[in-house]
Structure 1
Amino acid sequence: MIPPIRSPISLEEKAALEKSSDAAQIEFCNVTKMYGQVTAVRDLSLAIRRGEFLTMLGPSGSGKTTTLMLLAGFDMPDHGDILIGGKSVAAVPSYHRDQGIVFQSYALFPHLTVRRNLEFPLEMRGMKAAERTKRVNSILERVHLREFDTRVPSQLSGGQQQRVALARALIADPPLLLLDEPLSALDRNLREQMQGEIKSLHQEFGITTVCVTHDQEEALTLSDRIVVMREGRVEQTDTPETLYDWPATRFVANFMGEANILENPCFRIEADERQSPGTVPMIRPERICITSADKKVADKDYRQSVTGTVINMIYAGPLRKYKVSVGSSVLVVREHVSSGQHTFRAGEAVRLDWLRSDVRFVAT
C-alpha cells in the first residue's frame, strides 16, 4: 500500500535530517561514463544529503545531464558505483527505482486530463479508486490546480503544465525527486514564479531533490548546495553564497556571474587576503563603487581606489552597468539605480573604489 502524502516537515526537522549521521542518501563513488571515445562523466565522487536540494550546474557538455540520467537509471556507469540509502543501484533500471522525475518537456499525457495524468502513476501501483481520488485532490490543492482538473495539457499555460508535472512526480511520495532543466521552457517572469513554487514544495515535502540546470540564477535561488561541473568533472561544490562570494577557480568565478579578473592590472592590488601561487585577484562588479574623479576617498585604510574613464553605460531597469578603462585594464561596475543618482557618460572621468576585504584570489 502506498503511504499517504507526508505532512509538511518543520525547519527544525529538516535541519536535524541534514545533520544526522546517516544524512548521505545518495553517493556517487568514482563514477565514469563513456560514450564511445568521449568521457561524459569522469571519476565523479559526490555525496548528497538526505532532504537537501542539490543543483548540478554547468555549461553544455559539462556532464550534468549525464549524471542525472545515471542517477535516474536511464543510463548505467562504465566504472564506479551509485548508492541510494547505502545500496548499489548502478545496475538497477529506472522503473525499479522509487523516484519522481520532472522532464524538461514535462512529458504529460496530451490526451488525458490533469486528474487522469495524476491518477495514472497511482493506478500503475495498484492503488484503489477511493484512495486515488483522495490523493489527487490533496495534491491538486497543494499546487493550486483544483479548478483545472478536467482540462487537458494543451488547455493549460506553461506554468500550469509545470505544476502538473511536479504534482505527478510528488504524488506517490517518492524519497527522491529529479528535475531536468525544469524551467527552461518558461519566460522570465513565469520562471521566477515557478522558482518560488518549487522552493516552497521542497520545504513542505522535505524530499531529497537533485536538479540540473544551466541557469545560474535558478541554481542560486533554489539550492542548498550547488555542484559546478566542467568537462565531466566537479569544479567546486558549495552553498550558493560561498560559490558566488568565494569561488575557487577562475571558471567558477566567471560562470557564477560577472567577475573582474585582475590579471596583470596596471595598478597594485591591495587585499586583506594573502595571494597564493597560481591564483589571480578577482572582484565582483557590484562590490565596486563608482563616483566622480574629484570626490574624496573615505576609509582609505580599508579601501583601494583607482581612477579611470567610462567606456559605456548600459541601463537594465534596476541596475546600471558601466565599463571603465583603468590604464590597460577594463573593469565592469554594477550599481542599483536610485532617485537623484548621477549617471556617468562615456568619456567621463571617474573614481572606482572597493573594500580590500572584497578582493578574492581564484586559481587559474
Structure 2
Amino acid sequence: MGTRLKVNERDGCNTSIPAQIEFCKVTKRYGEVAAVKDLSLIVPRGEFLTILGPSGSGKTTALMLLAGFVAPSEGDIFIAGRSVVSVPSYRRDQGIVFQSYALFPHLTVRDNLQFPLEMRGMKAAERVKLVDRMLERVHLNDLGGRMPSQLSGGQQQRVALARALIANPPLLLLDEPLGALDRNLREQMQGELRALHREFGTTTICVTHDQEEALTLSDRIIVMRAGKIEQTDTPAGLYDRPQTRFVATFLGEANILENASFSLESEAPPLSGTVAMLRPERICVFDAADPDRAVDDQRQCVTGSVEDMVYAGPFRRYHVRVGNDLIVAREQAASGQQIFQAGDRVRLNWLRSDIRFVRM
C-alpha cells in the first residue's frame, strides 16, 4: 500500500487514495493574472500522466510548481505525503528533462551521467558501473566519450533521459521532451519512453502540446484550459468521450454538428446545453450511385458533394458539403479503393452510437 496523504478533507484534498503527488487547491498568480487556478489533482504512484493544453493553458506553470522552480500563491503540494512548497527544487529527489535537454556542454556523455551520482556522494567505482549499465540501456555504449555537440538530437535526448533516471528518482518530470525532434525521431523516442517507464516504474509527469504524443505515452491525460482542468481521463476515454467542445476539437479532429441541416439520429438523446460531435474517422464514404451499399438500422446515411480531397499518406481527408454543413471524413488509404474528387456525389454513413454530445 502506498503512502496515504494525511490532509484535511475540508481543504479539498483526498485523504484515502494512495498517492505519490497531490495538488491541493493550488493557485499561481503573476500580478493580476492567475496562470493556474485552484488546481486539485492526485497522481498515483507509478502513473504516466500527461498535462496537455494550448499555449497559456497553465500546463508548464503546473510542472514548474511541482518541480519547485516557482512557488504557489495559494494551496499546497504534497509528494509522498509531505508538503514540498517550502522545499527547494534540488532537494525534491526528482529527474527533469527539458525540451532543450540542458546537457552540460563541457562534459562528455559519461560525465553528464556521472554528475547526479557524484552529487549524491556515490563512490567512483559504483558510478562507473551504473553509468555503463545506463549507457547500454539507452543504446549509447560507444558514445560515452563524446561531447553533447557531437551527438544527434535523438542521441542527446537519450542522454538527457538517462541522466534524469540514473539515480532512480521516484519522480520524473518531462517538459516538452520531444518537441525539438523531427517526426520520425519523435515516434522512435515515444517508444523508448514507454519502454523506460515500464522498466523503471517511475511516476512521470509530462507536459506537451502534442496531442498524438499525449495519446501514445500516457496512462492518463489532463487537458488544461485557462489555468484550470477541463477534463481528465485515460487516452481512449478522453478521445472517445470528450465532455466539452474544447476537448473534442483540441484532441484530434471533430465534426461539430451544430444546427445541422439534416435530421441527426443518435442512440442517446441530447442534453440541454450540448452539441453533437462526430469523429471524421467514424464516417464511411461511398459513391452516391452505388446500389450495393445498404444502410442498416444502426447507421445514419446522408448524401453530399465532395468539395475537397486531401491526401495525407496513410489516409485521405474528404470535405463533403451536406446541405449547409461541411463534414470532414477521414478514410484509411488502401489499394483498389475508390477515390473521390471535388464535385463527386457521395454518401456518408456512420453508426448512430458514434454520435457524442459535448458541452458548449
**Alpha-carbon distance between aligned partners in 2 of 1:105 and 1:201, rounded to the nearest angstrom:** 20
- Aligned counterpart, 2:302: 306
Letter in 2 for 1:313: M
In the alignment, does 2:268 pair up with 1:273?
yes
Q: Which amino acid aligns with 2:356?
A: R
TM-superposition CA deviations, 1:93-145 (whole Å, max 9, x none)? 10111100001100001111000001111111111100100111111111111
Shift of 1:274: 1.9
Partner residue in 1 for 2:133: 138
Say yes or no: does 1:291 pair with 2:322.
no
Please, which of 244, 248, 260 is the counterpart of residue 249 of structure 1? 244
CA distance in structure 2 between the aligned counterparts of 1:269 and 1:180, rounded to whole angstroms: 42
2:62 pairs with one of 63, 67, 74: 67
Give the match for residue 80 of structure 2. 85
Distance change >3 Å, CA 17–CA 347, structure 1 → 2: farther
Amino acid at match of 1:167: A
Give the aligned residue type for 1:355. Answer: L
* 1:319 and 2:334 correspond: no
What's 1:363 paired with? Answer: 359
Q: Provide the C-alpha distance between the structure 2 equivalents of 1:119 and 1:76, rounded to a whole number of angstroms.
A: 30
Task: State the alpha-carbon separation in 1 of the partners of residues 176 and 314 from structure 2.
Answer: 27
1:179 maps to 2:174: yes
Match of residue 120 from structure 1: 115
Would you say the 8 A contact 2:29–2:73 is kept in 1? Answer: yes
SS of the residue 2:104 aligns to: coil
Equivalent residue runs for 1:4-83 within 5 Å? 23-83=18-78
**Which secondary structure state, in structure 1, belongs to the residue aligned with residue 302 of structure 2?**
strand
* Residue 220 of structure 2 is aligned to residue 222 of structure 1: no
Aligned with 1:348 (options 336, 344, 360)? 344
Structure 2 contact 317–331 (Cα < 8 Å) conserved: yes
What's 1:3 paired with? Answer: none
Distance in 1, Cα, partners of 2:269 & 2:75: 39
Displacement of 1:295: 2.6
Alignment-derived partner of residue 11 in structure 2: none
Structure 2 letter corresponding to 1:170: L
Distance, in Å, in 2 between the alignment partners of 1:284 and 1:179 is 30
Task: Check the 8 A contact 2:2/2:19 in 1, yes or no.
Answer: no
Cα distance in 2 for partners of 1:52, 1:298 equals 46
1:300, distance to aligned residue in structure 2 (A): 2.6
Task: Quote the offset at 1:24 in angstroms.
Answer: 1.4
Given the two structures, how large is their TM-score scaled by the length of structure 2? Answer: 0.95
CA contact (8 A) 2:295 2:301 kept: no
Count of matched residue positions in the alignment of Structure 1 and Structure 2: 347
Q: Give the 5 Å matches for 1:230-245.
A: 230-245=225-240
When normalised by structure 1's length, the TM-score is 0.94
Other-structure match for 1:9: none
- Counterpart Cα distance in 1 of 2:17 and 2:200: 19
Query: What SS does the corresponding residue of 2:20 show, helix, strand or coil?
Result: strand
Kindly state the Cα deviation for residue 22 of structure 1 after the two structures are TM-superposed: 5.4
Give me the whole-angstrom Cα distance separating, in 2, the residues matched to 1:251 and 1:217.
16
Deviations 1:319-344 (A, max 9, x none): 10000000000000000011111110
The 1:142–1:23 alpha-carbon spacing in structure 2 relative to 1, beyond 3 Å, is farther
Question: How far apart are the structure 2 equivalents of 1:273 and 1:132?
Answer: 60
Q: Distance in 2 between matches of 1:271 and 1:93?
A: 53
Aligned residue number for residue 5 of structure 1: none
Report what 1:101 is aligned to.
96
State whether residues 32 and 79 of structure 1, in contact with CA within 8 Å, keep that contact through their aligned partners in structure 2: yes
Q: Percent identity?
A: 70
The worse-fitting range, judged by mean Cα deviation, of 293-302 and 195-204 is 293-302
The RMSD of aligned alpha carbons is 1.2
Matched, 1:188 2:183: yes
